[in-house]
A and B are shown apart, each in its own frame.
Chain A
Amino acid sequence: MFIKNIAQVFRELSKQKLRTLLTLFGIFWGTTAVILLLTFGTAVKANSSKTMHGMGESICVIWAGRTSISYGGFPKGRNLSFYKDDAQYLKEQVQLIDDISPQYTRQVPVKVNNKKQNFNINAVWPEFKEMRNMVPRGGSRFINPIDMEKRRRVVFIGNEVEKTMFGDEDAVGKLMYINGTPFTVVGVIIEKEQDGSYNGRDKDAIFMPTSTYLSIYGDRFVDNLVARAKDVNKTEQMKKAIVAAMAKKYRFSEEDTQALPIWDTTEADQFLNIFFNGFTIFLGIVGVMTLIVGGIGIANIMYVIVEERTSEIGVKRAIGAKKRVILMQYLVETFAIAAAGSVSGFLFSVVLIWGINQAPIEEFVGVLILNPAIAVTTIIIISIITLVAGWGPAKRASTLDPVVAINS
């Protein structure tokens, strides 16, 4: 019965080629619009997020500032500093911290063979790697706990440093003279896009273990700390706890907002999320509007078809078709049009996405990927619109009075 129904549907639709084709085009175009716009929105979001997370995901960079409230007998305007054991102290005091690392920075002359240039060196803990997205190139590594323990003279370098100092050669395993001291390069960072930075971009920097650094330079003060919360959503609490712990240690007011300036990248993340979700939803709505117009087209053609076949429906009812059978027939018919339109729209979108990805605009929109969520969302939206569009005409067909219908 069902298969017979579908066969009949196609026969009936082929009678009205032009009208069916135009209706089909509405759904086709709507599907294409929804898929393309959603894909575009997602791609732009992913791209911005990628370049933003070049520096690290959901991290806090903490500096020692200057007090702005007098507290415990100290006047305001006192300069604060971080010391060697502050990172360890915070790790023990604040349970919400997942990872923390101190960061010492200094600019020093670097020499490889006969090339000489100044670079920023950063002394950090191995934990720095995960927090700040220090991804080593294949066959190389970041500094590790054994380096720390043995104070090895090893460095992890930015890809631009490698290019400048070693040219096209692979720097891993080679020696590099930093302030005259030989260091072995153990890793090179992969090329990454980075929007935000402090102390310069990672591609131009050199990283070494804090233990090695202190044994050579013996800095008193730590330049800054980098920390990440165990749960991204508790970053706010973690910041408060850090301020509280440091306020206790260095005797300043917990209310003092200038004592510990903190750069919280999750704030920017939140903004980005809200902005791009809004953007994607907006694009989605534009696409859905187009689909709705297509749906109105379907409803329209179905009403015309029902109108034209009133007498036929009457005959079918007279020879024993139940209301349900008539209803199903016209719903199936509606879905057949919608399916044909959306499948062709889907295929067209795939081709179009492929075409767009060939164009040199990756820097701005990233790579368009048709993800399953978008496909499923589109299918659901089309099904709902089709059901709504088809229900009216189908219901009308099934509730026609057979006596009136036969004689129309």
Chain B
Amino acid sequence: MIKMENVRKVYDTGKIEVEALRGIDLHIKKSDFVTVIGPSGSGKSTLMNIMGCLDKPTTGEYKLNGQNIKNMNDNELSELRNKEIGFVFQNFNLLPYASAYENVEMPLLFAGIGGKKRKEKVEYILDKVALGDRMDHKPNELSGGQKQRVAIARALVNNPNIILADEPTGNLDSKSGREIMELFVDLWKEGNTIIMITHDHRVSQCSQRIIEIIDGKIYE
């Protein structure tokens, strides 16, 4: 599913070059549940951005589902993000003026999926994250845990191959955090591939495989 060979990422800030990733070799199979841990500044966010096709490696190969992303243009990458990857962010990143329904609907709009099918999918997925009765609520009318469940529904709605979650419990109280983790575990059990960044060791205990990044290198 994910195959990285000697991936390096160098940020050129003008005066100094910062090497965020120093040769990553990584292989993640379908239906894996992987957590990536590491101190801040270790390069885990950079790794996440590259895995999510938001950024390209400076050197090295990255293949997603056998497709080399090196030669893709912006439109193709956008499509890839839309169809293959579901993002869940630490601070939810929901559109504040849109209802839960409209937030979840958005990836389907970008995918150009028609009205009736779209409605079915959105309603199905919101039911699945137990928010079927909160569809018309705006984010500010939802609790932190509920917001994150909307975000997970948004990530899942287009049936992506990979769910990329960046500290999904980081902004939640421990009870909500546990609920969200249970949801992720359920999703994994259904066969979803999940890659999660965290620095909470308790969170990483839920996963099947733990990858640690220190100074841009992987330790397993």
Contacts and interface: CB of A to CB of B under 8 A. Distances in A.
Interface stretch (A139-147, A241-249, A312-320, A361-369): A312-320
A15 B78 contact: no
Given A322-B74, A325-B110, A403 B79 contact: no
Contacts of B44: none
A327 to B, nearest CB: 12
Contacts of B74: 322-323
| Residue of A11, A12, A319 with highest tally of chain B CB at under 10 A | A319
B179 interface: no
Interface residues of B, number: 26
Given A4-B109, A325-B110, A403-B54, A319 B82 contact: yes
Given A1-B109, A312-B95, A402 B54 contact: yes
A320 B81 contact: yes
User: Which secondary structure characterizes the binding site on chain B?
Assistant: helix
A320 B78 contact: yes
Contacts of B89: 315, 406
A199 to B, nearest CB: 77
A65 B53 CA distance: 93
Given A320-B81, A320-B82, A15 B97 contact: yes
Contacts of A1: 109, 112
B87 interface: yes
B40 interface: no
B71 interface: no
B54 A323 contact: no
Nearest to B46: A403
Interface string B88-116: 01000101011000000011011110000
Given A15-B97, A406-B89, A406-B93, A319 B54 contact: no
B13 interface: no
Contacts of B93: 311-312, 315, 406
Interface string A290-313: 000000000000000000000110
B97 A320 contact: no
Interface of B: 49, 52, 54-55, 74-75, 78-79, 81-83, 87, 89, 93, 95, 97-98, 106-107, 109-112, 154-155, 158
Interface of A: 1, 4, 8, 11-12, 15, 311-312, 315-325, 402-403, 406
24 contacts: A4-B109, A11-B98, A317-B54, A317-B78, A317-B81, A318-B54, A318-B81, A318-B87, A319-B87, A319-B106, A320-B79, A320-B82, A320-B83, A320-B107, A321-B78, A321-B82, A321-B110, A322-B74, A323-B74, A323-B78, A324-B75, A325-B110, A402-B54, A403-B49
